[in-house]
Chains A and B, each alone.
Chain A
Amino acid sequence: MPRMLTVHDPRGFPPKVAGKRLAPRLDGLDGKVVYLVDCLFDNSEVFMNQLRDWFAQHLPKVVIRQIKPRESWVDDPEMRAIIAREGDAAILGVGL
């Protein structure tokens, strides 16, 4: 009969996950302000410019605004406040 051992679990303590509800969706995009949030990865601005141009060509009634956080990979509460105050929706992108 092999010897049985009791050992410790080596993992840390994960945070409890607090669920959040998704924001209500929009009925349509015409006349709405949609923020394109450039997350500052290399070349992401070029991607967002192309996305902006797509909207201008195909859905010109959508008001597109581009915005960036003040620093890479750091939360920017001021930027989030602007989007919440002045925007109807936001698209975050894009990495690597």
Chain B
Amino acid sequence: MFARLVKSVARVNGLPTLRQVFVPQPVVGRTPADLRAYIDGEDPIIGGAFIKGVIDGLTGTLVAEDLSSLAFDRSTPRLLPPDTVANLRRQFEESRWTDFLPIVLPTEQRVAAMLKGTSRKPEEIVGRLQPARFRELWEFNVEKVAVNAVMAGARPEYFPVILALAASGVTARSSSTTSQATLAMVNGPIRNTIGMNCGIGAMGPYNHANATIGRAYGLLSQNLQGGSVPNESFMGSQGNVHSYSAVYAENEERSPWEPFHVEHGFKPDQSVVSLFMGGWYIQFGGGPRETWQEQFRRSLRACDPYSGPVLALDPLVARGFVDRGFDSKRKLAEWCSANSTLPAREYWDNQWVQTLLVPQAVAGVEPYASYLKAAPEDLVRMFRPEDISITVVGGETGAMWKMLSGTYLRSVSIDDWR
């Protein structure tokens, strides 16, 4: 599955003739005997014995192409050649520059109007994005972000939020095989000035700003990072519905706790967008009722141990927790941490815990180092308090809560992009 990808990565890193050999997939979950059979077997991509490819790669003769140090430029134009609306729509779709929903074509007039939503200059560099850590970083300016904002149907007054998302360095189109999505939440005064929804239906398709800001984030991610094309620059096995649009605002006015951005060092009157990596699972419940502790323990244990949850609590739920003594988000996060336990055997058997946290455990990073020493049936905490984000969203039509997969990554100032 990864042959096209690794050849592409070698090419854009200036080594198009890098020697590569392949074994069948998967490696994950295979026994030592299975893997030895891979080594003794055929290369399913190039053909011939796998091990012969290894030896030849190390000892073979180099040819002129290997030594040519081929450099090339892949510039993209500012404007496309003039064409009809129908042809341009077809070109955008066939080039995979859309999410396959209708787009607004980014004419010069529309892009110019979008640029009026910021004081920043069109040619100013905003940032760089990549679909995965091993891919090259593509760069983009304010105008390129505006182009994608227009395509998504966003309005100029939303543009500072979209620029902040673009400047975050976090893509909404990760190439991860896990089909990772990026969730984003807006805090501060801009929520109200641009009419974002933090009440009834805030996490659904019921608000122009929420919907188009989220869509713009997705489109700009795929187009400004060099694509999100299945089997090339996107390897998510199943895809993720959150990738269409996953931006909402926190209901600060109805929350009993301090806003999320204030927890993270910003002032209440600053406008900020916070980013969460995940979008893999969603749990749901009501309350808190008499058995809320049992329900929360069960739900926390059902979370993926590599991806800490974002708790999205309706204001009624948040106030219910205050009534039970949780007068801060931190207290609730600490309770959740203490009650999110799993046998060490099960914790370490998770593919991503194994891949990403074992090296930290071996390097002595706590709590993972202690977890690695735990007996198989010892209970370990799946999440530290700081791995659990508490947010308040909803319109108080019901005391409902969600736990969404979402590792907090960072918060970005929106005011810097006004």
Question: Could you mark each residue 28-41 of chain B with 1 if its beta carbon is under 8 Å from any beta carbon of chain A, else 0?
Answer: 11101001101110
Distance of B304 from chain A, by nearest CB (Å): 14
Contact code string A1-40 (vs B, CB < 8 Å = 1, else 0): 0111111111111111111111011111100001000001
- Tell whether, in the assembled complex, residue B27 and residue A41 are in contact, meaning their CB atoms are under 8 Å apart: yes
Number of A-B contacts (CB under 8 A): 206
B88 and A42 contact, CB distance less than 8 A = no
Give the distance to chain A from B19, nearest Cβ to Cβ, in Å: 8
Residues of B close to A70: CB separation below 8 A: 359, 363
Decide: B226 and A14 in contact? CB cutoff 8 A.
Answer: yes
Q: Does chain B have a CB within 8 A of A81?
A: no
Q: Is the CB of B105 within 8 A of A42?
A: no
Please state if B54 and A4 are interface contacts (CB–CB under 8 Å). no
Given contacts A3-B84, A7-B79, A50-B39, whether A25 and B68 have CB atoms under 8 Å apart is no
Residues of B within 8 A of A4 (CB): 82-84
Cβ of A96 and Cβ of B62 under 8 Å apart?
Answer: no
Picked from A15, A17, A22, A41, the residue with its CB within 8 Å of the CB of B66 is A22
Query: Are A26 and B25 in contact (CB-based, < 8 A)?
Result: no
A43–B32 Cα gap in the complex (Å)?
9
Interface size class of A (residues with CB under 8 A): 35 or more
A40 and B59 contact, CB distance less than 8 A = no
Give Cα A15 to B11, complex, Å. Answer: 12
A29 CA / B58 CA spacing, docked (Å): 8
Task: Answer yes or no: B291 CB below 8 A from chain A CBs.
Answer: no
CB neighbours (8 Å) of A34 from chain B are: 58
Closest partner residue, chain A, to B23 (CB atom): A94
Task: Check A71/B360 contact, CB under 8 A, given A13-B76, A19-B68.
Answer: yes
Question: Would you call B265 an interface residue if the criterion is a C-beta within 8 Å of the partner chain's C-beta atoms?
Answer: no
Within the assembled complex, what's the spacing in Å between the Cα atoms of A73 and B177?
14
User: B25 to A50, Cβ gap below 8 A?
Assistant: no
The chain B residue with its CB closest to the CB of A44 is: B27
Are B28 and A96 in touch, CB under 8 angstroms?
yes
Q: Would you list which residues of chain B between 55 and 104 have a CB under 8 Å from chain A?
A: 55, 58-62, 66-80, 82-86, 88, 92, 97
Instruction: Please tell me if the beta carbons of B139 and A5 are within 8 angstroms of each other in the complex.
Output: no
Write out, one digit per residue, whether chain B residues 351-368 have a CB within 8 A of any chain A CB (1) or not (0).
Answer: 110111011100100000
Are A8 and B139 touching (Cβ within 8 A)? no
Which B residues lie within 8 Å of A12 (CB)? 76, 129, 138-140, 144, 223-226
Q: Pick the residue among A5, A14, A50 that contacts B32 (CB under 8 A).
A: A50
Are B219's CB and A10's CB within 8 A?
Answer: yes
Q: Are B78 and A15 in contact (CB under 8 A)?
A: no
At the interface, yes or no: B292 with Cβ under 8 Å from chain A? no
Shortest A53–chain B CB gap in Å is: 7
- Residue in A closest to B97 when the chains form the complex, CB atoms: A10
- Give the contacting residue for A9; candidates B80, B355, B358; CB below 8 A: B80
Chain B CB count within 10 A is highest, among A17, A25, A49, for A17
> In the bound complex, how far is the Cα of B16 from the Cα of A18, in angstroms?
11
Q: Is A60 an interface residue (CB 8 A)?
A: no
20 A–B contacts, CB within 8 A, in A order: A2-B84, A5-B82, A7-B108, A8-B147, A10-B224, A13-B144, A14-B74, A14-B138, A16-B72, A17-B71, A21-B66, A24-B62, A27-B59, A41-B28, A46-B30, A54-B36, A58-B51, A69-B359, A70-B363, A96-B26
- In the complex, besides A8-B106, A13-B138, A96-B26, 5 extra interface pairs with C-beta distance below 8 angstroms are A8-B107, A8-B111, A42-B28, A42-B352, A54-B51
The residues of A with any CB-CB pair to B shorter than 8 Å are 2-22, 24-29, 34, 40-44, 46-47, 49-51, 53-54, 58, 68-74, 89, 91, 94-96
CB within 8 Å of A: which residues of B? 2, 11-15, 17-19, 23, 25-30, 32, 35-36, 38-40, 51, 54-55, 58-62, 66-80, 82-86, 88, 92, 97, 105-108, 111, 129, 133-134, 136-141, 143-144, 147-148, 151, 177, 219, 223-226, 351-352, 354-356, 358-360, 363
5 A-B pairs with least C-beta separation? A12-B224, A19-B69, A12-B140, A12-B138, A19-B70
